[in-house]
Structure 1
Amino acid sequence: MIEIPFESIEFQIALLLLIAVAGYLIAAYIHQSAVVGEILIGLIVGPSFLGLITYTEFVSALAQMGAIIMLFVIGFDFHFKTLLKYDYLLIGTSGVILPWVMGFMFAQYFGFQFEGSLFIGAALTATSIAITANVLKEMGKLHTKVANAIIGTAVIDDILALVVLSVTIDIVSGAAGLTDILIAILRPVLFIVIAAIAGLFVIDKIIVKIDNSKLAETFPELVFLFGLCIAFIYALTAEIFGISPVIGAFIAGVSINKVSLNHSMSIKKGSEYLYIPFASIFFISLGILTDLHQITSEIIPFIIILTLIAIISKFAGCSIPAKILGMDTHDSLTIGAGMIPRGEMAMIIALIGLSMGLISQDIFVAIVMTGLICTIITPLLLKDWLFQ
């Protein structure tokens, strides 16, 4: 009798790709973004329902690769001069402070201790740039003014969320000080400056030199491999500096997108081939990561209210200042909606709070569920309301 090796890597990859196809079919059937279809199919095949696949280290690694490649590709559609604007700093700051304050006040109202309330508020601060960027790319809206605003604000948002996390940990440990806050702010800013300069003035020249060599004429895929290597080096370096690896990959894409190649395979086009399967696995993993069995009847009201606060605070915190800064109503609302999704940063903050004993397991699950709901809502708002 032939035994099927269910635990083998080959079987898991085949299953994930088949699930990805099913996710596209669901998205087409319900007339929604592929992101929604992939997350829903991840819920169905994951621990919540069928239990066909779990969030193993292997799935996690593929999902992380997907997020890095996805933001690397998306970075090719942006330029630093369109992202680095003072307006985005103001919008991002408001979009971080309001969720933190509202989340904290809500937790205090529910009777949580001061330290636990800080972590619950902090978990609502960070926007998941991967979700919105993918939806905008899918809808062909990456080259719009509002897309520049959303991505630029999301990058700042990620940095500020890191500052919030650092300050929260320092307050809880009783070591908060001006020096710690300044280091938390300057560290990610320093990375972005160094990464941008290295990309524009060093890596670009190396790529051109390789492209003009005889080696590139013989092996046109060589530059693509080098470019992909740079994306992961940037992602690793970003993590060392304490910010999301996907931000590093995004900066890598922005840094080298002006390079003109004569003999080599396009870095962007080559990466887009990888983008399709790995990005799908990333979104599927969000559904797999969520186990609905851990939700109790007692925690459901908390999840509902926390989700509403997460949506309203981020939407208002970004759309209102965008409107005040002179953007029209449609673009302001689009920016607010595009900043709603929460991702890996919310889960990391919640996990730190759980490991420190400041929040319980059911509250951790509530934060994960809030992030998932916010992620699903964003494509619905952007596709069916703001970009109809």
Structure 2
Amino acid sequence: MLAISITWVTSLTSNPIIPLLATATESDSAYIMAGVLISLIVIYLASIVGAEICARLNMPPVLGQLLGGLVVGISAFHLLVFPEGGGDSSNSLIINFLIATTGLSLDGAAIFQINSEVISVLAEIGVVILLFEIGLESDLKELLKVGPYSAIVALVGVAAPFFGGTLGLVYLFGIPTVPAIFAGAALTATSIGITAKVLAELQYLNRKEGQIIIGAAVLDDVLGIIILAIVASLAKTGEVELTNVVYLIISAVAFLVGAVLLGRLFNPYFVKIVDELRTRGQLLIPALIFAFALSYIATAIQLEAILGAFTAGLVLAETQKCQALKNQIIPIADILVPVFFVVVSAKTNIGVLNPFVPENREGLMIAVFLILIAIVGKVISGFTVFDQEETNRLAIGIGMIPRGEVGLVFAGIGSTTGVLSGSLDAAIIVMVILTTFLAPPLLSFVFQKPEQVSVKTKK
């Protein structure tokens, strides 16, 4: 989620992909296309096999997609590897396959870099589509109704793990202050994409708990952007740029409120335009234009593309075209969303979990501590919901647990700036892995599908 805004900026300035693309010949482009197609074959096979196995075991299919990504990624078969995950062209089986079957003449490393970037961008588009779909499934009135609860859950879910992690690392492990703050910041994130997908699969997205989780996760994402800006500034200069922090806060609030208010004025015109069109995609294409436009605006003001996509979904959910649009966006999501989940998992190297490697042991000890803080800090946030209704507070807390790719971005920036030691970097990665994979089965356990509940009630 945070990944595209960071990696894309760096790729424009220092990534070798840009000059490579500028000098690529037509035959080179054919090899690139071949690599992308093979990568997509691997992704879809991993996605469908993993999801099917989990579905038959009565577990969330998204967990199967994540596990499928682990199997084909850097942790196992090296079919789908990425530079940021520690892979290169020499250990990419896809590149080796291309060389063997096509007589690849261009430098394999160049094809590998370009192929990796294309697949990563497709993954980021996938999460944009996912959040647009989640926005369409959400009810703005219900989100506003649970807004105060979501705000409390988000604030506690950020503060508790941040202070608990930072202070624990400083006083229990003797970690210097700046690296400890960076690691504590990595504990604050929530991967809205993973949680939202599980809630949708369990048919809990529009129930009160689901709306609180989604609202809190959106706020977590905004807070995560602000925290990331703070710790990145701290890592580079040793001090926090207050003006940048204030700008991010103001722009996030202004964007969310402004987009929703202006969207309500825009809705009648959107419906009128759609009704006047006579070509294929008369509903889907204008909706995607609107979603991508808000995503671009969010990115342009240093927020997140997914924030814009989610807001666009919320706005269009209030139109009379909502149900028809939901039906049309599902096939698009089925194509692109699995790419996101498989790629996130494929980039994760679980080799850092090996206790038999001496240099991993210190990181594992710190990782155990971070995992406990990561889980407890978010679970506590669920119990801050106080109301008269019967609410599954434990489920709310568990829904905030997964860190996903957001946590990996914190670790990646800390590692590249030299702030994090090898063991602390490994500990953060382990924390991200386990919280990401624990959340779907735990959510499935603490939540029951609405129809299951109704059946039990009838009995």
Per the normalisation by structure 2, the TM-score is 0.76
Larger-Rg structure? 2
> Where does 1:349-388 land on structure 2 (aligned, <5 Å)?
349-387=410-448
Aligned to 1:40: 67
Distance in 2, Cα, partners of 1:371 & 1:211: 43
Could you report, residue by residue, the CA deviation over 1:204-250 in whole angstroms, capped at 9, with x for unpaired residues?
Answer: 2332222221xx2x314122111112222222222223333222211
Aligned to 2:324: 266
Aligned to 2:256: 192
Aligned to 1:100: 162
Matched, 1:166 2:229: yes
Counterpart residue identity of residue 22, structure 1: V
Is this contact kept in 2: 1:123–1:349, CA < 8 A? yes
Structure 2: where are the runs of 5+ without partners? 1-30, 83-115, 450-459
Counterpart residue identity of residue 290, structure 2: I
Distance in 1, Cα, partners of 2:306 & 2:320: 24
Could you report, residue by residue, the CA deviation over 1:162-221 in whole angstroms, capped at 9, with x for unpaired residues?
Answer: 23223334455354365554323212111112222232212x2332222221xx2x3141
Distance in 2, Cα, partners of 1:328 & 1:346: 33
Is this contact kept in 2: 1:337–1:382, CA < 8 A? yes
Q: Report deviation, 1:362.
A: 4.3
Distance in 1, Cα, partners of 2:45 & 2:388: 43
Is this contact kept in 2: 1:330–1:386, CA < 8 A? no
Aligned to 1:278: 336
Is this contact kept in 1: 2:394–2:446, CA < 8 A? no
Distance in 2, Cα, partners of 1:167 & 1:343: 20
Aligned to 2:216: 153
Q: Report deviation, 1:273.
A: 0.7
Q: Which deviates more, 344-353 or 270-279?
A: 344-353
Distance in 2, Cα, partners of 1:231 & 1:345: 21
Number of equivalences: 376
Compared CA separation, residues 236 and 360, structure 1 to 2 (3 A): farther
Compared CA separation, residues 232 and 372, structure 1 to 2 (3 A): farther
Question: Which of 77, 98, 102 lines up with 2:137 in the alignment?
Answer: 77
Question: Which of 94, 103, 122 lines up with 1:62 in the alignment?
Answer: 122
Distance in 2, Cα, partners of 1:30 & 1:286: 23
Could you report, residue by residue, the CA deviation over 1:93-112 in whole angstroms, capped at 9, with x for unpaired residues?
Answer: 11100111011023212222
Aligned to 1:51: 78
Compared CA separation, residues 52 and 175, structure 1 to 2 (3 A): closer
Question: Which of 348, 366, 375 lines up with 1:290 in the alignment?
Answer: 348
Aligned to 1:305: 369
> Where does 1:162-241 land on structure 2 (aligned, <5 Å)?
162-172=225-235, 173-176=237-240, 179-202=243-266, 204-213=267-276, 216=277, 218-241=278-301
Distance in 2, Cα, partners of 1:288 & 1:104: 29
Per the normalisation by structure 1, the TM-score is 0.89
Is this contact kept in 1: 2:196–2:214, CA < 8 A? yes
SS of 1:76's partner is helix
Distance in 2, Cα, partners of 1:195 & 1:61: 25
Compared CA separation, residues 144 and 329, structure 1 to 2 (3 A): closer
Could you report, residue by residue, the CA deviation over 1:17-55 in whole angstroms, capped at 9, with x for unpaired residues?
Answer: 122111123213433111111111111111111111113
Is this contact kept in 2: 1:228–1:267, CA < 8 A? no
SS of 1:100's partner is helix
